[in-house]
Amino acid sequence: MDCLFCKIAAGEIPSTKVYEDDRILAFRDIAPQAPTHILVIPKTHIPSVAAITPEHSALIGHIFEVIPQIAQAEGLENGYRVVSNCGPDARQTVHHLHFHILGGRPLEAQMA
């Protein structure tokens, strides 16, 4: 499948990994929008939040257990934002489910 994040998950395209286990990978965004900008992805291909089904529940739960571990390891004790863009109105550009972790400075109050 011609999916950038599938290739990153498979190690075919390099990334700056910050966390990896058998189900998920976290790596630094190539165009960071905050001092800390990390993407967390499932290794299996799920196109977006809109494609999440009950069979993904354990995987999604696992992602949200690991996110605070990553945030702690990154020193984001002052807070951080978790974002997932879904579909064209949200300007999703990579069609493989990913959660942005943004932090390291006070973020804009406006969400959209």
Minimum gap (Å) between residue 8 Cβ and ligand AMP: 6
Q: Which is nearer to ligand AMP, 52 or 94 (CB)?
A: 94
Q: List residues near ligand AMP by CB under 6 A.
A: 4, 13, 15, 29-31, 39, 85, 91-94
- Residue 30 or residue 109: which is nearer to ligand AMP going by CB? 30
98 has catalytic annotation: yes
Catalytic pick among 37, 45, 98, 100: 98
Q: In sequence order, what are the residues at sequence separation of 6 or more whose Cβ sits closer than 8 angstroms to the Cβ of residue 74?
A: 18, 36, 38, 101, 103, 104
Question: Which CB, 1 or 31, lies closer to ligand AMP?
Answer: 31
Min dist. Cβ of residue 72 to ligand AMP (A) = 22
| Smallest gap from residue 40 Cβ to ligand AMP (A) | 11
CA nearest to 25, candidates 105, 102, 80, 96 = 96
The vertex-72 CA angle with 66 and 78, nearest 5°, equals 125
Catalytic positions: 98
